[in-house]
Amino acid sequence: MRIFKLYGANEILSSLMLKKSPDMSLPCGGRGICGGCHVEASGDLSRMSALERRLLEKKGLDPERFRLACQCEAMGEVIVKLPETQAFALADLPAALPEHDGSKDAPLGFAIDIGTTTIALALMDMPSQVALSVKSALNPQGVFGADVLSRISYSNENGPHELKALIRDKLGELMSSALKEANASEKLVSRICATGNTTMLYYLMGLDPREIGQAPFEAKRLFGETLEAGSVFPQLKNSELYIPDCISAYVGADITCGIAYLEHLYPGEPKLLADAGTNGEMALMGGDRIWCCATAAGPAFEGTHISQGMIAADGAIYGVKAKDGEIEVKTIGSLPPIGICGTGLISAARLALETGALEESGYMEEESFSLGNSGIAISSQDIRQLQMAKSAIASGIEILLEESKLSAPALYLAGGFGHSLDPKDAAFIGLIPESLAGVSHAAGNTALHGALLALVSEKSRIKFREAAKKACVVQLSNNPKFTELYMERMAFSAF
């Protein structure tokens, strides 16, 4: 738990918090419509409005303990508590990397993954393939919305400069911290590989992503570039910065990196990579072909727009089960529950289905389903959000399988979501086909792992370009089959 002592004079609490914790999330951009910026706060705070109380109670939060950071003011000294975000461990990094083909005099390099919700980086001693430090943090652009389109909407009105500055400053801070931890000089860094979805890379480079957010939803810049790092990170002017190829506006370099990483580990085997975030991206590899798609799943898997939802952080419920007639919950860090993340929501939905509290149609007779004595419950509105998210992912997977004629490739679930997700839960509610439940694997941060390949070996970057070139994007937005499947997969039933 992070604890902050703040002082304000009629200052909005979120503004004060952002000075101390720039990675604080404001999912609706601070408009007071989602309740996602709830914090445990005490001290000299403004009187609670009816709107703030209603949003807190809607999320099942005690108004005597919690406040909405965008809706209350600090009138003097205030104490605020925030949960710790999950950090990547050294053990999460791949063991087998290509041989380093760069300078031994400047042996260090940074691999960076810029996710919409979380950013992560690894400082590597490239010749020895040893990670000297691994850092992660929430993406500070979250103050302008939880999803890509919210941020594009903001930059359409205000320009991309603020979002560029936020991500560059946060990455600079994390890199400095990693170097300090490793007791290493910036002069020893010769390479940086930065990956992410197409919009995040646009912001990193200071580009306006307006074209990505409007029809025909195309990106003129798909990267696959090497440039002087000093133009982006002045403190690392002696380094080169490589940005891998994006495949399309909504299938970014993070997926290209994931493809390269899985092909490096399992060459030639049929496999499906699924990154189920706000924008669900999938790539199906079979022989010499790659089929990709992207579908707007919404932020439910990130815990956003869920009544008591939260990101995968300390205290988040990630699993639910019945034992001896009682409901038990599992939380990250084995701490008292303070909310529920995406995998916990899926697990809770399965239990609700098994107990009859939830019907396959998504109907709940009661307004909510309580998770034992945890103080956390899922509402009928939460179920609706989950239905839309899981239907989008399931339909995308089914379309790719149909296009490829591959029946049961190995399924690799990317990110922290994949790490905590029980494939049996996912198949039970109809998120993934039953045929894939037994061949599903948590793949970790495949984007960061792929970036490490490109970091240590310049030769391996050829494979990134080849993967991007042979990838075929299956468009779902105007696909009548997708629309039909989307309606069918709204039901909580195995397929």
Q: 133-187 pLDDT, tens per residue?
A: 999 888 999 889 888 999 999 999 999 999 999 999 999 999 999 999 999 999 9
Which amino acid appears at position 161 of this protein? H
Instruction: Specify the higher pLDDT residue, 299 or 106.
Output: 106
Residue 282 to residue 411: CA distance in whole angstroms: 10
Structure confidence at residue 236 (pLDDT): 96
Superfamily of domain 90-262 in the CATH hierarchy: Domain of unknown function (DUF4445) (3.30.420.480)
Instruction: Specify the higher pLDDT residue, 160 or 419.
Output: 160
Residue 222 to residue 243: CA distance in whole angstroms: 9
The residues facing 52 across adjacent strands are none
Which residues are CB-contacts of 331 (< 8 A; sequence separation ≥ 6)? Answer: 314, 315, 316, 317, 318, 337
Structure confidence at residue 454 (pLDDT): 96
Q: Which of 251, 289, 269 is nearest to 439 (CA)?
A: 269
Topology of domain 2-82, per CATH?
Answer: Ubiquitin-like (UB roll) (3.10.20)
Strands ordered across the beta sheet of 279-286: 440-444, 410-414, 271-275, 279-286, 289-296, 471-473
Asked if residue 90 has pLDDT above 50, the reply is no
Across 59-73, 190-204, 348-362, 387-401, least confident range: 59-73
Domain with CATH 3.30.420.480 in the chain: 90-262
Contact 260, 467 (CB under 8 A): yes
Contact 135, 20 (CB under 8 A): no
Asked if residue 333 has pLDDT above 60, the reply is yes
Asked if residue 444 has pLDDT above 90, the reply is no
Chain centroid to CA 462: 27
Q: How would DSSP label each residue in 10-71?
A: SEEHHHHHHHH-TT---TTSSSSSS-TTEEEEEEEEPPPPHHHHHHHHHTT--TTTEEETTT
Q: Structure tokens of 407?
A: 């029946």
Chain centroid to CA 259: 17
Asked if residue 260 has pLDDT above 90, the reply is yes
Across 29-43, 177-191, 364-378, least confident range: 29-43
Structure confidence at residue 327 (pLDDT): 96
Q: 451-488 pLDDT, tens per residue?
A: 999 999 999 999 999 999 999 999 998 889 999 999 99
Across 31-45, 79-93, 268-282, 348-362, least confident range: 79-93
Which residues are CB-contacts of 286 (< 8 A; sequence separation ≥ 6)? Answer: 270, 404, 406, 409
What is the model's pTM?
A: 0.83
Residue 225 to residue 221: CA distance in whole angstroms: 10
Domain with CATH 3.10.20.30 in the chain: 2-82
